[in-house]
Structure 1
Amino acid sequence: MNAPPRGFEQVSNKDVAFLGTDPIPAAPYYDADWFELERKAVFLRSWIQVGHVCELPESGSFIRREMEFANASVLIVRGKDGGIRAFHNVCTHRGTQLVDDVQGKRATFSCPYHRWTFGTDGALISAPDFEAFHVSKADCALPSIALEVCAGLIFINFDPDPAPLRDWLQGLAERLETLPVAQATTFSEYVYDIEANWKLTYDNFQENYHLRFIHPRTGQATLSQDNPFGYPLRYGFNGPHRTQSIWTNPEPRVQPTQGMAFGKGYEAGMRRGIVGGPNDREYFALFPNFFLLGTPIQHFSHTVYPISATRSRGVIRIYWVGEDGNASERFAREFAMATARDIHAEDRAVIAAGQRGLSSGALKHIHFQTQEALCRHLFNGVRDAVESWKVEQATAGCAA
């Protein structure tokens, strides 16, 4: 006999009171000077998710990532020893970028300008007339960038001496490593640019207050009579990171196309959940700009990269374990990404409209309610990082 669906009790004010209740200043969502502080205090000193190990299956496999916030092109390579490393995509002769391809496989990397050639470990192998430079090859290796992997996810850090990634994750590493993304072998990807601040863009995807209004058709798996706004079951906070357990409708209305795409397992999977219980799904938000949503059907990730104070780029991925076994599986995976794009299309217009309103300067403050606690937590983390960086700079200035 099936157990009756459990009732829903939303997160209360007292559960998140420690985050504060004051209005949030609006300027950090459009001000160029504040963005510069974020760039230095947050993005140049945090672990930033940039890819997955399945993109680098063998020695010589590489991917290139453009990190506008660092004004850097990053070359990520699997070496002959199997290790994955990150380098600045810049020849140490006169700065020419080595690689234009987004991804590929090479045994060496040669500069198109003067043919300085580097190995997959970043070492300079050869350079024409090198004896005339009066410098050693060891001094001409590619500039490295800190790189670590957790749950198959690749993170880089532009800080020259960062804390280890596992310490940075503050207890979440072990939980992430139990998820299927750690064994993923392939993925579907959707990249978009949007005229909106990275925090405003990211916040849209860590609150469910908008679901009933923006996603009335596509949100049926989350909305129910017991929980008409689709609010989460619980929130968790791990240092600058946060989690939430997403409520799932115990009696989802499965659309005909969904049933055709995912078969009989769809409805059962939506009821089963992955991490926290029979009706919920787990969401991991890693400071500052990455989140992973574990669902019964696949693992969905979203990284929002800042480009300017009012522009950002998002990378949405759905990770899969194993290749398509047949045409039905292929269709199901394509359908999953198409659905993600459809849902996201419903969000983009209101995010951009919010940016236009904030950039007008008409508002001095914005307001977060209890069910937008994760948005407030992100803002608090960014603010604290900026204030800490200011103190460090002032202390360094005084010491000098």
Structure 2
Amino acid sequence: MATKPTFTSVDQADLDFLGREPIPAKYYHDADWYERERQAIFLRSWIEIGHVCELPQPGSFIRRELEFAGVSLLIVRGRDGEIRAFHNVCTHRGTQLTDQAEGRTSTFSCPYHRWTFGLDGALLSAPDFERFFTTKADCALPRVALDTCAGLIFVNLGADPVPLRDWLGELADELETLPVARATRFSEYVYDIAANWKLTYDNFQENYHLRFIHPRTGEATFSSENPFGYPVRYQFFGPHRTQTIWTNPEPRIAPLQRVAMGKAMIAAARRGLAGGPNGREYFALFPNFFILGTVAPHFSHVVYPLGPQRSRGVIRIYWEGDDADASERFAREYVMAMARDVHAEDRAVIEAGQRGLASGALKHIHFQTQEALCRHLIGAVRDAVAAHEAAAGTAG
């Protein structure tokens, strides 16, 4: 008879370098602090905004609105196959070039005065351009830094940012081994929530709440042996972090999940491996993106700030290959519906936490040992704000 696997939680002694002190509550609601984060982090970090499968051929484009920066971006695959990012703004008088969310085109033409730009951002033509006191070369679309890793598209609004792979460090190679690097399709769920981006994000990097908020839907992650579903390992890589998620060795898998997953994936899920050495790893990339290394489903979540007490989340489940038949299509949508159901259990309690913090009743909040990733995130945020303000001579 096989020996039942034992569970040992991570000890506080291994995490003391993160500190034990209470965390100022203002970090989750204060408008001044949010503005410092916005300047120091979101206008200067690599932000995940999509996947290369959305741009399958030359001329494919997607539009992304980054409210935290007040910008609209065009992500375009050029004739040469390169993916580039441009501000969605005509260089004549600022009119946005398109309000389409996605599509395919050979050029972008301003609806106001018909200035026309190529897929590489160059100004191709403009009516009566000879009467302007400039050159076409000086009127190209403003470009934004863009790079990819594991098929994921990242942009950076800062000037001369560090290369993406340098930013990711040793996690870059691990990410490239994940199924998302081979994804060809995805299901997506977008939500707005009345909560600070960190409060929203923190809910998804700690398991302390699972047995209380997800007593039914979270049973694959906890059991009598591990009643809180705590991870078996945490790792820290500069501002980034990972956790190895413990999995119930005898999960209940719904029939439709079986169709979407396939026999091999189900067997892997029961082994707690789900397809590889990083199968149960949770990769949290600073500041606001995480992805699960599971094969089925391959799940990612990014939380964009909309204000001191508002944020937007984009949840995706990535798939390899087209749907084999109607049953598989239905099963994949069912898996996405299950993810929405689980998330629906979280939203009200996250917003309740935001209302409580915004009331000013608490000056500090407290993290326990197994909320280590939450503590690490706030430490990385504070470090980034301090470094930016020191460099700018505005520390305060």
| Bucket of the pairwise TM-score, normalised by the shorter protein | over 0.9
Q: Tell me by how many angstroms 1:151 deviates.
A: 0.3
The equivalent residue for 1:340 is 339
Partner of 2:391: 392
Asked if structure 2 preserves the Cα contact closer than 8 Å seen for 1:60 and 1:80, the reply is yes
Counterpart residue identity of residue 212, structure 2: F
**Number of matched pairs:** 394
Structure 1 residues 277 and 107: CA distance shift in structure 2, 3 A: closer
Equivalent in the alignment of 1:174: 173
Does the residue aligned with 1:70 lie in a helix, a strand or coil?
coil
Deviation at residue 393 of structure 1 after TM alignment: 1.4
Distance 1:145 1:62 in 2: 15
Aligned-partner Cα distance in 2 for 1:261–1:159:
40
Asked if the contact 1:245–1:276 (Cα under 8 Å) also holds between the matched residues in 2, the reply is no
Is the Cα–Cα contact under 8 Å of residues 252 and 267 in structure 1 kept in the other structure? no
**CA gap 1:129/1:80 in 2 versus in 1, 3 angstroms:** same
CA contact (8 A) 1:274 1:282 kept: no
Amino acid at match of 2:220: A
CA shift in 2, pair 1:296/1:3, >3 Å: farther
1:265 Cα shift?
A: 5.1
Q: Are the aligned partners of 2:265 and 2:275 in contact in 1 as well (CA < 8 Å)?
A: no
Could you say if the C-alpha distance between residues 162 and 261 of structure 1 is closer, same or farther in structure 2, counting changes exceeding 3 Å? closer
Distance (whole Å) between structure 2 residues aligned to residue 3 and residue 49 of structure 1? 42
Specify the alignment match of 2:253 in structure 1. 254
Q: CA 1:109/1:260 → structure 2, altered by over 3 Å: closer, same or farther?
A: closer
Consecutive unaligned residues in structure 1, runs of 5 or more: none
Partner of 1:108: 107
Counterpart secondary structure, 1:206: coil
Aligned to 2:286: 287
Give the partner amino acid of 2:26: A
Aligned to 2:214: 215
Amino acid at match of 2:388: W
Name the CA distance, whole Å, in 1 between partners of 2:254 and 2:285: 32
In the alignment, is the contact (CA less than 8 A) between 1:152 and 1:182 conserved in 2?
Answer: yes
Residues 336-368 of structure 1: CA deviation (Å, up to 9, x unaligned): 100000000000000000000000011000110
Gap regions ≥5 residues in structure 2: none
C-alpha distance in 2 between matches for 1:150 and 1:345: 30
The DSSP-based 3-state class of the residue aligned with 2:334 is helix
Output the aligned Cα RMSD.
1.6
CA–CA distance in structure 2, aligned partners of residues 220 and 114 of structure 1: 58
Please list the CA deviations of residues 202-234 of structure 1 after superposition, one character each: whole Å capped at 9, or x if unmatched. Answer: 000000000010000001111112111110010
CA contact (8 A) 1:221 1:270 kept: no
Please give the residue correspondences for 1:72-87 in structure 2 after superposition, counting only pairs within 5 Å.
Answer: 72-87=71-86
- Partners of 2:375 and 2:201 in 1: how far apart? 12
TM-score for the superposition, normalised by structure 2: 0.96
How far apart are 1:267 and its partner, in Å? 4.4
In the TM superposition, residue 170 of structure 1 has moved relative to its aligned partner by 1.3
Name the aligned partner's letter for residue 14 of structure 2: D
Q: Which amino acid aligns with 2:235?
A: G
For the residue of structure 2 that corresponds to 1:128, the secondary structure is coil
Amino acid at match of 1:241: H
- In the alignment, which residue of structure 2 is the partner of 1:53? 52
Q: CA deviation at 1:327?
A: 2.0
Task: Quote how far apart the aligned CAs of 1:302 are.
Answer: 0.2
For the residue of structure 1 that corresponds to 2:356, the secondary structure is helix
* Contact preservation (8 Å) 2:275, 2:295: no
> Partner amino acid for 1:358?
L
Note if 1:31 corresponds to 2:30.
yes
CA offsets, 1:92-118, max 9 Å, x none? 000000010000011000000000000
- Using the alignment, how far apart are the partners of 1:337 and 1:105 within structure 2? 27
Note the C-alpha offset of 1:269.
3.1
SS of residue paired to 2:68:
helix
**Whole-Å separation in 2 of the counterparts to 1:128 and 1:334:** 48
Partner of 2:300: 301
1:92 corresponds to: 91
Deviations 1:267-315 (A, max 9, x none): 423223237769x711000000000012241210000000000000000
Identity level (%): 71
Report how far residue 254 of structure 1 moved.
3.2
Q: Note the 1:61-72 alignment, pairs <5 A.
A: 61-72=60-71
Q: Distance in 2 between matches of 1:19 and 1:113?
A: 54
